[in-house]
Amino acid sequence: MNIRLKGDFKTESKMDVTVMDLSGKIIKKLYTGKARKNLVWDGKDNRDFHVASGLYFIRCKLGTRSISLHALIVR
């Protein structure tokens, strides 16, 4: 199971992408670095274990902007 994130960023600003559970706990630091157009989350946490079924937030910070997406995992 993979979740693909695509964007059309016309900047080389720093990008931080994190996955959080409903309580706001960071489950996975998906990416930190120069802005990328494509990212994939494999449904695993920072310890390389598959996350449990549930709702997760994916937060993408790019420069001074931030966007949050929802991901529903059903196993």
**What CATH number is attached to the domain comprising 65?**
2.60.40.4070
Q: What pLDDT sits at residue 37? A: 83
Bridge partners of 32?
A: 16
**Dihedral angle computed from the Cα positions of residues 50, 59, 7 and 44, in that order, rounded to the nearest 10 degrees:** -10
Q: What pLDDT sits at residue 7? A: 77
Q: What pLDDT sits at residue 13? A: 83
Q: What pLDDT sits at residue 44? A: 97
pLDDT tens by residue, the chain, 75 residues = 788 888 777 777 899 999 999 999 999 999 999 888 889 999 999 999 999 999 999 999 988 889 999 999 998
Strand order in 14-20's β-sheet? 26-34, 14-20, 54-62, 65-73
Q: Phi-psi category of 46—alpha, beta or left, where left has phi over 0 and alpha has psi -120 to 50?
A: alpha
How many domains, in total, are found in the chain? 1
